[in-house]
């Protein structure tokens, strides 16, 4: 059994915020894979389902971001899930929009949701880091993450969420690289008319070995 946690803030006011991309990822997984209805439990919302023989509990803490660890601890204790079997989906300022990385353990890099989980669970859980980009200055971070995605972000955001959902069975099976590859096919597909091979790069222009006098003479011939 695994516990997948999406980080965000509860309520319609925050639903489309960049900070809520973790909630969005879990909502997409639950909807696409026929998970059970969301129910209020463990100071959050819970949905259960399976990928083959792999049972997965989805959790969206409703404690607000800074206290996410309380909800995670309650769910982990109830289901007796070790910290190594917890995966947290969260926004990542240090990745470009639409980029994604998977990481096991490590620091919280100042993310308040991760900081809270560290306090309650330690640092050995896995993370799916979902890039939202950086506003350019640390003083703008709070307003940036608590603002909605722009309309121009919708295409890459939808591709990222689709890829996460399509790759979810691989993630549940412990196949992190396959999960990453599946997401990449959505967010950076091969560029060709058939979708099977990347377009060949144009061949470099041949080097011009003529002397300056020859080049000048050719100009007068035209």
Q: How confident is the model at residue 222 (pLDDT cuts 50, 70, 90)?
A: low
Does residue 129 lie in a domain region?
A: yes
Instruction: Return d(Cα 139, Cα 141) in angstroms, integer.
Output: 6
Does residue 127 lie in a domain region?
A: yes
Domain with residue 30: its CATH number is: 3.40.50.1470
Q: Are strands 39-41 and 54-61 parallel, antiparallel or unpaired?
A: unpaired
For the stretch 46-98, pLDDT in tens is: 999 999 999 999 999 999 999 999 999 999 999 999 999 999 999 999 999 99
Instruction: Return d(Cα 51, Cα 54) in angstroms, integer.
Output: 5
Distances (CA, A) of 176 to 171, 172, 179, 181, 183: 6, 9, 5, 9, 11
Does residue 214 lie in a domain region?
A: no
Q: What is the residue whose two structure tokens read 């969301």? A: 38
Distances (CA, A) of 160 to 33, 51, 80, 168: 16, 20, 31, 12
Does residue 125 lie in a domain region?
A: yes
Expressed as residue numbers, the domain containing 67 is 2-187
For the stretch 108-150, pLDDT in tens is: 988 999 999 999 999 999 999 999 999 999 899 999 999 999 9
Catalytic residues: 19
Does residue 221 lie in a domain region?
A: no
pLDDT given for residue 192 in this prediction: 55
Mean pLDDT of all residues in 194-199 = 51
Q: How confident is the model at residue 37 (pLDDT cuts 50, 70, 90)?
A: very high
Distances (CA, A) of 43 to 25, 52, 87: 19, 28, 18
Query: First and final CA of the chain: distance in angstroms?
Result: 76
pLDDT given for residue 202 in this prediction: 47
Does residue 90 lie in a domain region?
A: yes
Token digits for 98? 């639409």
Instruction: Return d(Cα 7, Cα 22) in angstroms, integer.
Output: 5
Domains of the chain: total: 1
Q: What angle do CA 57, 59, 62 make, to 5 degrees?
A: 160
Per the model's pLDDT, the better-predicted residue between 193 and 74 turns out to be 74
pLDDT for 18 beyond 70: yes
Instruction: Return d(Cα 150, Cα 171) in angstroms, integer.
Output: 29
Mapping DSSP to helix (H, G, I), strand (E, B) and coil, where does residue 133 land? coil
For the stretch 147-178, pLDDT in tens is: 999 999 999 999 999 999 999 999 999 999 99
Q: Are strands 86-92 and 2-6 parallel, antiparallel or unpaired?
A: parallel
Burial class from Cβ neighbours inside 10 Å (0-12, 13-18, 19+) for residue 103 reads: middle
Does residue 18 lie in a domain region?
A: yes
Does residue 211 lie in a domain region?
A: no
């Amino acid at each position: 059994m695994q516990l997948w946690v999406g980080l965000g803030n509860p309520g319609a006011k925050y639903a489309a915020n960049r900070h809520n991309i973790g909630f969005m990822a879990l909502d997409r997984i639950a909807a696409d894979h026929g998970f059970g209805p969301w129910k209020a439990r463990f100071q959050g919302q819970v949905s259960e389902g399976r990928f083959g023989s792999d049972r997965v509990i989805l959790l969206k803490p409703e404690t607000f971001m800074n206290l996410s660890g309380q909800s995670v601890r309650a769910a982990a204790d109830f289901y007796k899930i070790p910290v190594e079997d917890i995966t947290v989906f969260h926004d990542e300022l240090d990745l470009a929009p639409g980029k994604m990385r998977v990481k096991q353990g490590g620091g919280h890099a100042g993310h308040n949701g991760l900081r809270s989980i560290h306090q309650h669970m330690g640092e050995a859980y896995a993370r799916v880091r979902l890039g939202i980009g950086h506003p350019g200055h640390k003083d703008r971070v709070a307003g940036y993450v608590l603002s909605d995605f722009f309309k121009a972000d919708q295409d890459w955001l939808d591709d990222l969420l689709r890829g996460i959902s399509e790759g979810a069975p691989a993630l549940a099976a412990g196949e992190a690289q396959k999960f990453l590859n599946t997401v990449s096919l959505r967010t950076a597909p091969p560029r060709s008319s058939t979708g099977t091979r990347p377009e060949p790069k144009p061949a470099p222009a041949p080097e011009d070995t003529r002397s300056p006098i020859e080049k000048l003479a050719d100009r007068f011939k035209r």
